[in-house]
């Protein structure tokens, strides 16, 4: 069996913010892939605005690094479980994984999630203990934690013998021992080359190329990124595309691209083991296989994670519709959603009875909120309904998604957190006291119980708590009410501007969401009520001037700080009778029925029903 010693294919996996994208930056820098005078951004792999702002990787990306004449293809994967579909497919393209773990935080839920996928594919692991310079770093304990995790996830004896490199990606140092840090990435490169197996050279066999990721380009259309598993692939070649449904389609590869650094370069030919991109097959999809016409043989189809959460996207029909956005018609919104389907394989868009509404299903709140955030930045206006989990029927039984939740909280807040997750039908499965005042607790909680929980958790732990959750499995539906908002809202009575006087009159009724001077319309939500019922209020009321001088006239009026919600918080906050109105400039919460009398009539009908 011949191996291609000139190439290595690895995926880099880690929990969010453990430094994998920064590590890739350093590997690119130390390999000499960039010219001396080439300007390279930090976190060069995260090239999307939202990725840069939030410090997360959303889309899997690949880069090729040359080190001692060996090409190392590195695929940077998302750490969030919402993008699990990306991770799973990437594992099929590589022969080993670089598991990056924070030397202080240790193993986190997403570490478990991505590692489980890698071990299932029988990939060879290399562990990089990052942030070794961080105060409080505990390398020996964390290595034990990693070993325990490998055992728990069913790693075999070979996988348990994983090599470890210690590094500080931020400082560009690495070494074989925690204390031996040198300003070089050589120890990382050497460990990769010595441990990650080279691909088998089957270049003389008939071609098999499988698509694992999609990209889109206005000039060449849809681009399929994948690995050549067998044979050779050439630009201009006539091929047959093996579809999921068993059908075959004859096409021609118009262009073939390879990767060097962060660039995509046009190439003429690639062979077994190479990771390349193909253009010219307009309706190519993830998981499909490209073969020669005289030898059509498909690879096993790649499984794509099913959506677990859905929301209704609607055309904006509020009184402020069209004031702040460029695109608001149903045709423009539908076109944009269809364009998203070109590259996002975990997304589903279904029409409804109304031409102005679509049910959009995704892998979780983050997955959908990033799509919405991109749309509003592009100038779209739309309305969103409350997110709902997708209930599946398995063996004749209704099942719902269950998440594994890990919380890290200071000791004094553990009681409150356990009580609040218990009320959301959470089941505690593990609790570890680190002895430094910090406690880590693991729960299993129905996904619907987590909708809207983040805000409650943050106020409960005074912002000191860390909450992480990943999809665990589908289990029979939990009986009874799970989660949901416990308080009612303050609803504006009429159109106008919020006044300082109006806000001050309402401060003892709850928390206000709007600043003085904010334009409002009747039916818009302006705050949270202290009680569990909704209250219609006049927040635009001005103080009537009189000629009677008040004794405390010279006292300055001060109002409490208003609560400003992010897009995710606003979506999580919604109730069934409410919409979130999203425009390029504003995020507003509103009642579905804006008129107070009609709303009260509808509410009575619901209560009678």
What mean pLDDT do residues 466-472 have?
Answer: 76
Residue 83 has pLDDT above 80, yes or no: no
Residues 132, 181: contact at Cβ < 8 Å?
yes
**Close Cβ partners of 600 (under 8 Å, ≥ 6 residues apart):** none
Question: Which ranges constitute the DSSP H helices of 532-586?
Answer: 567-573
pLDDT at 315: 93
Residue 322 lies in a domain: no
**Close Cβ partners of 263 (under 8 Å, ≥ 6 residues apart):** none
Residues 450, 403: contact at Cβ < 8 Å?
yes
- Tell me the pTM: 0.74
The H or E element that residue 234 is part of is strand 232-234
pLDDT at 557: 59
Name the residue range of residue 215's domain.
208-291
Residue-averaged pLDDT of the chain: 80
Residues 304, 85: contact at Cβ < 8 Å?
yes
Q: What is the DSSP letter of 85?
A: H
pLDDT at 360: 93
pLDDT at 85: 59
Chosen domain end from 263, 291, 319: 291
What mean pLDDT do residues 57-79 have?
Answer: 71
The secondary structure of 344-360 as a DSSP string is -TT-EEEE-SSTTEEEE
pLDDT band at 552 (very low <50, low <70, confident <90, very high): low
Distance from first CA to last CA of the chain, Å, rounded? Answer: 72
Residue 158 lies in a domain: yes
Question: Per-residue pLDDT tens for 338-352?
Answer: 888 877 777 889 999
Residue 332 has pLDDT above 90, yes or no: yes
Beta strands (DSSP E) in 513-561 are 519-520, 525-529, 535-537
What mean pLDDT do residues 40-66 have?
Answer: 50
Residue 225 has pLDDT above 50, yes or no: yes
Let me know whether 412 and 506 are in one domain.
no
The C-alpha atoms of residue 60 and residue 26 are separated, in whole angstroms, by 18
The C-alpha atoms of residue 218 and residue 216 are separated, in whole angstroms, by 7
Let me know whether 437 and 507 are in one domain.
no
CATH of the domain at 464: 3.30.70.240
User: Considering just the CA atoms, what is the radius of gyration of the chain in Å?
Assistant: 27
pLDDT at 44: 41
Tokens of 415: 């009681």
Let me know whether 414 and 556 are in one domain.
no
| Binding positions for GTP | 17-22, 130-133
Residue 381 lies in a domain: no
Chosen domain end from 274, 291, 308: 291
More confident residue, 362 or 16: 362
Residue 550 has pLDDT above 60, yes or no: no
Beta strands (DSSP E) in 281-323 are 289-291, 309-314
Rounded to the nearest angstrom, the gap between the alpha carbon of residue 359 and the centroid of all alpha carbons in its chain is 19
Let me know whether 187 and 214 are in one domain.
no
The C-alpha atoms of residue 78 and residue 12 are separated, in whole angstroms, by 9
B/e letters for 471-487, b = 16+ CB within 10 Å, e = fewer, are bbebeebbeeebbebee
Helix axis angle, 20-30 to 186-195, nearest 10°: 100
Residue 296 lies in a domain: no
CATH of the domain at 575: 2.40.50.250
Question: Which ranges constitute the DSSP H helices of 325-388?
Answer: 330-343, 365-377
CATH of the domain at 119: 3.40.50.300
What mean pLDDT do residues 62-73 have?
Answer: 83
Residues 348, 340: contact at Cβ < 8 Å?
no
Chosen domain end from 195, 227, 262: 195
Tokens of 128: 């990089």
More confident residue, 379 or 607: 379
The C-alpha atoms of residue 473 and residue 116 are separated, in whole angstroms, by 14
| Binding positions | 17-22, 130-133
Judged by average pLDDT, the poorest of 48-57, 381-390, 445-454 is 48-57
- Whole-number Cα distances in Å, 309 to 351, 354, 355, 400: 16, 21, 22, 10
Q: How many CB atoms lie within 10 A of CB 326?
A: 11
Question: Per-residue pLDDT tens for 230-283?
Answer: 888 888 888 888 887 778 888 888 888 888 776 778 888 888 888 888 887 777
Residue 20 lies in a domain: yes
Residues 256, 276: contact at Cβ < 8 Å?
yes
Residue 483 lies in a domain: no
What mean pLDDT do residues 500-521 have?
Answer: 87
CATH of the domain at 259: 2.40.30.10
Question: Per-residue pLDDT tens for 102-156?
Answer: 888 877 766 776 787 788 888 888 888 888 888 878 888 888 888 888 888 888 8
pLDDT at 357: 92
Helix axis angle, 109-120 to 139-152, nearest 10°: 50
Let me know whether 57 and 23 are in one domain.
yes
**Close Cβ partners of 70 (under 8 Å, ≥ 6 residues apart):** 5, 6, 7, 8, 193
What mean pLDDT do residues 195-211 have?
Answer: 87
Burial class (CB in 10 A: 0-12, 13-18, 19+), 545: exposed
Judged by average pLDDT, the poorest of 40-44, 162-166, 240-244, 578-582 is 40-44
Let me know whether 28 and 115 are in one domain.
yes
Residue 169 lies in a domain: yes
Nearest partner of 92 among 148, 198, 9, 33, judged by Cα: 9
The C-alpha atoms of residue 529 and residue 536 are separated, in whole angstroms, by 10
Residue 555 has pLDDT above 50, yes or no: no
What mean pLDDT do residues 555-579 have?
Answer: 79
The C-alpha atoms of residue 173 and residue 180 are separated, in whole angstroms, by 9
The C-alpha atoms of residue 206 and residue 224 are separated, in whole angstroms, by 19
Let me know whether 469 and 434 are in one domain.
yes
Residue 399 has pLDDT above 60, yes or no: yes
Residues 148, 162: contact at Cβ < 8 Å?
no
Tally the domains of the chain. 4
The secondary structure of 426-457 as a DSSP string is -EEEEEEE-SSSEEEEEEEEEHHHHTTHHHHH
Residue 200 lies in a domain: no
Looking from the CA of 236 toward its CB, the CA atoms found within 13 Å total: 3
Q: Given the DSSP bridges, would you call strands 397-410 and 438-446 parallel, antiparallel or unpaired?
A: antiparallel
Let me know whether 70 and 153 are in one domain.
yes
Residue 186 has pLDDT above 90, yes or no: no
Nearest partner of 585 among 489, 495, 519, judged by Cα: 519
Let me know whether 223 and 137 are in one domain.
no
pLDDT at 17: 66
Looking from the CA of 110 toward its CB, the CA atoms found within 13 Å total: 26
The C-alpha atoms of residue 47 and residue 9 are separated, in whole angstroms, by 22
pLDDT at 383: 93
Sign of CA dihedral 8, 9, 12, 13: negative
Question: Taking phi first (over 0 means left), then psi (-120 to 50 degrees means alpha), and beta for anything else, what does residue 515 get?
Answer: beta
Let me know whether 216 and 160 are in one domain.
no
Q: Which of 114-123, 420-429, 459-468 has the highest mean pLDDT?
A: 420-429
Q: Given the DSSP bridges, would you call strands 587-591 and 578-582 parallel, antiparallel or unpaired?
A: antiparallel
Q: How many CB atoms lie within 10 A of CB 285?
A: 17
Let me know whether 93 and 60 are in one domain.
yes
The C-alpha atoms of residue 270 and residue 73 are separated, in whole angstroms, by 14
CA quadruple 186, 192, 195, 197: dihedral, nearest 10: -140
Question: Per-residue pLDDT tens for 489-508?
Answer: 899 888 888 888 888 888 88
Let me know whether 190 and 212 are in one domain.
no
């Amino acid at each position: 069996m011949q191996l291609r010693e000139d190439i290595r294919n690895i995926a880099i996996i880690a929990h969010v913010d453990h430094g994998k994208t920064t590590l890739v930056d350093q590997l690119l820098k130390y390999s000499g892939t960039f010219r001396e005078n080439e300007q390279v951004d930090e976190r060069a792999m995260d090239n999307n605005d939202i990725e840069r702002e939030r410090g997360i990787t959303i889309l899997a990306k690949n880069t090729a690094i040359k080190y001692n004449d060996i090409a190392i293809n590195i695929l940077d994967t998302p750490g969030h479980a919402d993008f699990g579909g990306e991770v799973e497919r990437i594992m099929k393209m590589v022969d080993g994984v670089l598991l990056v773990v924070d030397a202080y935080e240790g193993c986190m839920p997403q570490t478990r999630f991505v590692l489980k996928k890698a071990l299932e594919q029988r990939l060879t692991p290399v562990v990089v203990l990052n942030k070794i310079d961080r105060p409080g770093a505990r390398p020996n304990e964390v290595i034990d934690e990693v070993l325990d995790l490998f055992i728990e996830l069913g790693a075999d004896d070979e996988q348990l013998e994983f090599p470890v490199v210690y590094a500080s990606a931020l400082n560009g140092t690495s070494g074989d021992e925690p204390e031996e840090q040198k300003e070089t990435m050589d120890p990382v490169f050497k460990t990769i080359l010595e441990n990650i197996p080279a691909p088998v050279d089957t270049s003389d066999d008939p071609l098999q190329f499988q698509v694992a990721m999609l990209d889109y380009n206005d000039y060449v259309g849809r681009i399929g990124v994948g690995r050549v598993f067998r044979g050779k692939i050439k630009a201009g070649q006539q091929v047959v595309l093996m579809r999921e449904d068993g059908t075959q389609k004859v096409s021609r590869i118009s262009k073939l691209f390879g990767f060097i650094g962060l660039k995509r370069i046009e190439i003429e030919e690639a062979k077994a083991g190479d990771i390349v991109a193909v253009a010219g097959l307009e309706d190519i999809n993830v998981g499909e296989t490209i073969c020669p016409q005289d030898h059509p043989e498909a690879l096993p189809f790649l499984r794509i994670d099913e959506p677990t959460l859905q929301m209704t996207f609607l055309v904006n029909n509020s009184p402020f519709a069209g004031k702040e956005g460029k695109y608001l018609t149903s045709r423009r919104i539908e076109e944009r959603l269809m364009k998203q389907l070109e590259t996002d394989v975990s997304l589903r868009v279904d029409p409804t009875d109304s031409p102005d509404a679509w049910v959009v299903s995704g892998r979780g709140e983050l997955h959908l909120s990033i799509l919405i955030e991109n749309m509003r930045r592009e100038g779209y206006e739309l309305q969103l309904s409350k997110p709902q989990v997708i209930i599946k029927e398995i063996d004749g039984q209704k099942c719902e998604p269950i998440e594994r939740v890990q919380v890290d909280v200071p000791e004094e807040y553990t009681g409150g957190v356990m009580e609040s997750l218990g009320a959301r039908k959470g089941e505690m499965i593990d609790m570890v006291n680190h002895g430094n005042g910090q406690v880590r607790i693991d729960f299993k909680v129905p996904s619907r119980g987590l909708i809207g929980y983040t805000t409650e958790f943050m106020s409960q732990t005074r912002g000191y708590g860390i909450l992480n959750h990943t999809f665990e499995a589908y289990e029979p539906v939990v009986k009874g009410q799970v989660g949901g908002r416990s308080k009612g809202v303050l609803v504006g009575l009429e159109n106008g501007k919020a006044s300082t006087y109006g806000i001050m009159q309402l401060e003892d009724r709850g928390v206000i969401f709007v600043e003085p001077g904010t334009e409002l319309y009747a039916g818009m939500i302006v705050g949270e009520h202290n009680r569990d019922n909704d209250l219609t209020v006049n927040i635009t009321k001005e103080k009537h001037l009189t000629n009677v001088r008040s004794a405390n006239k010279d006292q300055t009026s001060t109002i409490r700080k208003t609560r400003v919600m992010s897009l995710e918080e606003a979506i999580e906050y919604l109730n069934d009778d409410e919409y979130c109105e999203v425009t390029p400039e504003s995020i507003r919460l509103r009642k579905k029925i804006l008129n107070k009398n009609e709303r009260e009539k509808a509410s009575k009908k619901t209560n009678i029903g």
